Structure 1
Amino acid sequence: MIRVTIWNEYVHEVVNPAVAEVYPQGIHNAIAAGIRNESFSIRTATLAEPEHGLTEEVLNETDVLLWWGHRAHDEVRDDIVDRVQQRVLDGMGLIVLHSGHCSKIFNKLMGTKTCQLKWREADEKERLWVIDPSHPIAEGIGEFIELPKEEMYGEHFNIPVPDELIFISWFEGGDVLRSGVTYSRGRGKIFYFRPGHETYPTYYNNDILKVISNGVKWAAPSQTAAPFYGNTAPLEPIKAK
């Protein structure tokens, strides 16, 4: 059983009626309902909860954390960001969705102060091309996923060179983006997945939910030994010179 925590700042849905109409129970609950299966144990957490719902106990009981944020990045406490970072380094998986590219946790793990890109809201068609059809995150997906309307994100995307590139998005206006990329940090695996603007029903799309579900399985911790750092004794005798 993979233990999943879906974190959503849950601000847009409260203050914007147009978003509430699309996601009346919040983006976090839409994703939870869409990926729920017998192999996942799912809980949710939001910004307004004590410690943003990400207490040490919750994170210690989380194998994979999903992160959706947008207008309240600066309201996330730095000590909570540090806590999440340490869990990723210790092996917890992290899936960063849509505008989470500007979140404190993603920027911290990428080692940069900004992961900026171009953007535009114009009800554009998006086609997400599968660049690596052999990758487990793309399992069950055809050559591409087509979304009739989405927010455009375009290059240049100011991220480090990815370990793996799985999806590239093309938009009706001509822009493209590396929209599905992976990284490893410490013992943890990270997947950034672009789609999911709050005013579109993207998180009801079966292919998008399939990718997220595949991402959870891929990012789940591996049972590897924790690395040791610092001064260490030799494994073999060292002959005197």
Structure 2
Amino acid sequence: MTVRITVWNENIHEQENKEVAERYPKGIHGAIADGLIDNDLTVRTATLQEPDHGLTEDTLGNTDVLIWWSHCANDEVADEVAERVVKHVHDGMGFIPLHSGKNSKPFIRLMGTTCNIKYRHSGETERIWVADPGHPITDGLPESFEVPSTEMYGEPYDIPEPDRTVFISWFEGGEVFRSGVCYRRGRGRIFAFRPGHEEYPIFFQDEIRTVIANAVDWAAPTDGADAIWDEVKPAEPLDDE
């Protein structure tokens, strides 16, 4: 089965910051999409500036996995679009928020918490440790790998207890962070992945691209069983009393 992916990006930094535009000439969404070239995938991109932010009912209805990058414009996403995304996750669409996508309206609604963190802009090294080596998102990765320069995210991280914690990060300044966590909401699978600050070429790094590609495979919907949510007749005869 061909997995249909939509890569969404707010596409603000690339337009307002020359250095980000030079680092990501196709936009952050373009760099992520380029890392997903595969015969079994179809990839489209969408941005905040498009009608309905590029996330129409038709687009989401034809998306198996939605990858979401955002940072400075989380509040600019229309509530109607955010609720549309949440509905499709409940119906089975995979959702992969990257970096500050943890503060996106869809992720906060799906978590039911603030998703707040501590952070620091200092360009320090991050070592990402595989905490769950049996998880398919870790396929092809070493025990740990480094992101040479990045923004620090630190605990506490105000999220519900994850179903699985796949990665834990350590930062040069001493903090740690649950940098790759999995959830189920309704039929949908969610994988929140920390790396991806726009000031650094993180989405060109081989290990990061491997994680995202593996996460797409894991988050893609499966057929499962039929579900009936409305009033139903009894499966077995009931007494008339």
What interval of TM-score do these two structures reach, taking the shorter chain for normalisation? over 0.9
Structure 1 segments unaligned to the other structure (5+ residues): none
Question: Which residue is 2:19 aligned to?
Answer: 18
Contact 2:3–2:41 under 8 Å retained in 1: yes
Contact 1:181–1:193 under 8 Å retained in 2: yes
Question: Which residue is 1:86 aligned to?
Answer: 87
Say whether residues 1:38 and 2:39 are aligned partners: yes
Output the CA distance in 2 between the equivalents of 1:7 and 1:172.
Answer: 30
Say whether residues 1:181 and 2:161 are aligned partners: no
Query: Which residue identity lines up with residue 119 of structure 1 in the other structure?
Result: Y
Question: Which residue is 1:204 aligned to?
Answer: 204
Residue 105 of structure 1: SS of its match in structure 2? Answer: helix
Deviations 1:111-137 (A, max 9, x none): 12x111000011110000000111000
Output the CA distance in 1 between the equivalents of 2:28 and 2:202.
Answer: 10
Contact 1:35–1:210 under 8 Å retained in 2: no
After TM superposition, the score normalised by the length of structure 1 is 0.97
Deviation >6 Å, runs of 4+? none
Where does 1:3-82 land on structure 2 (aligned, <5 Å)? Answer: 3-82=4-83
Shift of 1:34: 1.2
Deviations 1:125-153 (A, max 9, x none): 00000001110000000101211111000
Query: Which residue identity lines up with residue 28 of structure 2 in the other structure?
Result: I
Deviations 1:35-91 (A, max 9, x none): 211111000000000110011111111000000011001110000111111111100
Contact 1:90–1:226 under 8 Å retained in 2: no
Query: Which residue identity lines up with residue 105 of structure 1 in the other structure?
Result: P
Cα distance change on mapping 1:14 and 1:226 into 2, 3 Å = farther
Output the CA distance in 2 between the equivalents of 1:226 and 1:89.
Answer: 14
Residue 125 of structure 1: SS of its match in structure 2? Answer: strand
Shift of 1:160: 0.3
Shift of 1:239: 2.9
Contact 1:130–1:144 under 8 Å retained in 2: yes
Question: Which residue is 1:97 aligned to?
Answer: 98
Output the CA distance in 2 between the equivalents of 1:133 and 1:238.
Answer: 50
Output the CA distance in 2 between the equivalents of 1:199 and 1:60.
Answer: 33
Residue 35 of structure 2: SS of its match in structure 1? Answer: helix
Report sequence identity in percent: 55
Question: Which residue is 1:170 aligned to?
Answer: 170
